[in-house]
């Protein structure tokens, strides 16, 4: 079935200055610009569980509970390919060169496809544990997967697995969390990996040594997402406790907290220049935060239920969000 992605290209002015000083609370000055949307993408009657831009920002992938991974041409707004797996899609990622798209399935398998022609490349089988997230290393040689089994409190069930992308070999299992691991992210160097969990902690791992470096504590509820800033300075962590916490990526020191009024935060993403953070929340809004000022500069409104994922395109001009209202939206954040 052919579908068309309608881009919601609404203009919102955002401050994109580089980060120099981090403020620790949302400012009440300069109320945020509100952008409303009336156009949506119906992705087949199921909610968008995952979205990802490729490295160029010209292609968008969406994953959903019906097992479909749909690839979209952002410029034309057309679906270019529909890939299918036999279980719900929990997470998506493009390889850094944009040639491979990986999908984590509810059946504990990761499937890799060639994003250019849709050819199936390989399947990575974890076993009986639930896959929640995945991430490519910056050089594209490694894939990290997050998994869990909430009936077990420790061990391999709630762990991070490292894979060789070229061969499909399982290289290491990183054990430390005591509940389901919900999110994983590599830093810009590829030497460090962050993982968030339902155990309310964030763990930082040395990738080469395959060992934990430190545990970060501060959230009071499940972690939902973790991501490093592209400039390597900050780690942002989102939680059901309604906050995004910012940490010094090198030392693990707590740097501040972003707290909005949208309820639990499901997803967080940095802009390519590290100056903005986008968050998706239970109230159906996407908030764009100025990291230096610690405040919301723009509200993106249009989803009619919880936002499940947010992502930035390579230019930082486009952001995308997926929601439980069975739509994916693409937003223009600056004037063309």
Q: Per the structure block, which two tokens stand in for 148?
A: 């869990």
User: What is the spatial order of strands in the sheet that 318-323 belongs to?
Assistant: 307-312, 318-323, 328-332
- Whether 109 contacts 134, CB under 8 Å: no
> Does the pLDDT at position 252 exceed 60?
yes
- Whether 297 contacts 14, CB under 8 Å: yes
Q: Per the structure block, which two tokens stand in for 172?
A: 């290491």
Q: Per the structure block, which two tokens stand in for 288?
A: 């764009």
Q: Give the Cα separation of 277 and 272 in Å (integer).
A: 10
Among the residue ranges 164-178, 285-299, 322-336, the one predicted with the least confidence is: 322-336
Q: Give the Cα separation of 244 and 262 in Å (integer).
A: 12
In percent, the amount of the chain with pLDDT more than 90 equals: 67
- How does residue 83 score in pLDDT terms, banded at 50, 70 and 90? very high
- Whether 317 contacts 328, CB under 8 Å: no
Q: Per the structure block, which two tokens stand in for 213?
A: 């470096």
Q: Give the Cα separation of 115 and 244 in Å (integer).
A: 32
Residues in a beta bridge with 147: 131
Q: Give the Cα separation of 247 and 62 in Å (integer).
A: 29
Q: What local confidence, expressed as pLDDT, does residue 319 receive?
A: 84
Distances from the Cα of 301 to the Cα of 32, 45, 185, 283, 288, angstroms? 12, 21, 27, 10, 11
Q: What local confidence, expressed as pLDDT, does residue 331 receive?
A: 83
More confident site: 166 or 332: 166
Rounded mean pLDDT of 15-40? 45
DSSP state of 219: -
List CB contacts of 259: < 8 A, sequence separation 6 or more.
25, 26, 242, 243, 244
Q: Per the structure block, which two tokens stand in for 286?
A: 């996407």
In the block, residue with structure tokens 């952001």 = 319
- Whether 176 contacts 193, CB under 8 Å: no
Q: Give the Cα separation of 183 and 128 in Å (integer).
A: 18
> Does the pLDDT at position 4 exceed 70?
no
Per-residue pLDDT reduced to its tens digit, 178-187 = 999 999 999 9
One of 2.130.10.10, 3.40.630.10, 3.60.10.10, 2.60.40.2140 is the CATH number of 33-332, namely 2.130.10.10
User: What is the spatial order of strands in the sheet that 170-175 belongs to?
Assistant: 130-136, 142-148, 159-164, 170-175
Look at strands 201-206 and 254-259 and give their pairing.
Answer: unpaired
The residue length of the chain stands at 336
Q: Give the Cα separation of 283 and 300 in Å (integer).
A: 11
Per-residue pLDDT reduced to its tens digit, 270-292 = 999 999 999 999 999 999 999 99
Per-residue pLDDT reduced to its tens digit, 51-72 = 999 999 999 999 998 999 999 8
Q: Give the Cα separation of 147 and 182 in Å (integer).
A: 7
Closest CA to 277 of 240, 233, 336: 233
Rg (CA), the chain: 18
Q: Give the Cα separation of 134 and 118 in Å (integer).
A: 19
Where are the chain's structural domains?
33-332
Helices (H), 75-226: none
DSSP state of 327: B
Q: Which residues in 271-298 are b (16+ Cβ under 10 Å) and which e?
A: bbbbbbbbbbbbbbbbbbbbbbbbbbbb
Dihedral sign of CA atoms 137, 129, 216, 28 in order: positive
């Amino acid at each position: 079935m052919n579908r068309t992605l309608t881009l919601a290209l609404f203009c919102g002015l955002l401050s994109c200055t580089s980060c120099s000083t981090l403020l620790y609370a949302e400012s009440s000055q300069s109320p945020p610009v509100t952008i409303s949307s009336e156009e949506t993408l119906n992705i087949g009657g199921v909610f968008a569980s995952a979205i990802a831009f490729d490295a160029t920002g010209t292609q968008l992938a969406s994953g959903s509970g019906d097992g479909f991974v749909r690839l979209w041409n952002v410029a034309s707004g057309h679906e270019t390919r529909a890939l299918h797996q036999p279980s719900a899609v929990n997470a998506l990622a493009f390889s850094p060169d944009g040639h491979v798209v990986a999908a984590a399935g509810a059946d504990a398998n990761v499937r890799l496809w060639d994003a250019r022609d849709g050819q199936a490349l390989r399947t990575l089988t974890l076993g009986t544990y639930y896959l929640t997230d995945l991430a490519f290393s910056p050089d594209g040689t490694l894939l990290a997967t997050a998994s869990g089994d909430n009936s077990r409190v420790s061990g391999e069930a709630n762990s991070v697995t490292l894979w060789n992308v070229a061969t499909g070999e399982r290289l290491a299992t990183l054990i430390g969390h005591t509940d389901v691991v919900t999110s994983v992210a590599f830093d810009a160097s590829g030497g460090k990996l962050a993982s968030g969990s339902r155990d309310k902690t964030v763990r930082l791992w040395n990738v080469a040594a395959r060992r934990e470096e430190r545990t970060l504590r501060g959230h009071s509820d499940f972690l939902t997402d973790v991501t490093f800033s592209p400039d390597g300075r900050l780690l942002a962590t989102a939680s059901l406790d309604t906050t995004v916490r910012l940490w010094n990526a090198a030392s693990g020191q707590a740097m501040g907290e972003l707290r909005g009024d949208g309820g639990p935060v499901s997803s967080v993403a940095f802009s390519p220049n590290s100056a903005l953070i986008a968050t998706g929340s239970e109230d159906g809004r996407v908030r764009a935060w100025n990291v230096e000022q610690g405040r919301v500069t723009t509200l993106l409104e249009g989803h009619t239920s919880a936002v499940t994922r947010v992502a930035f395109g390579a230019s930082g001009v486009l952001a995308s969000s997926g929601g439980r209202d069975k739509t994916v939206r693409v937003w223009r954040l600056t004037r063309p």
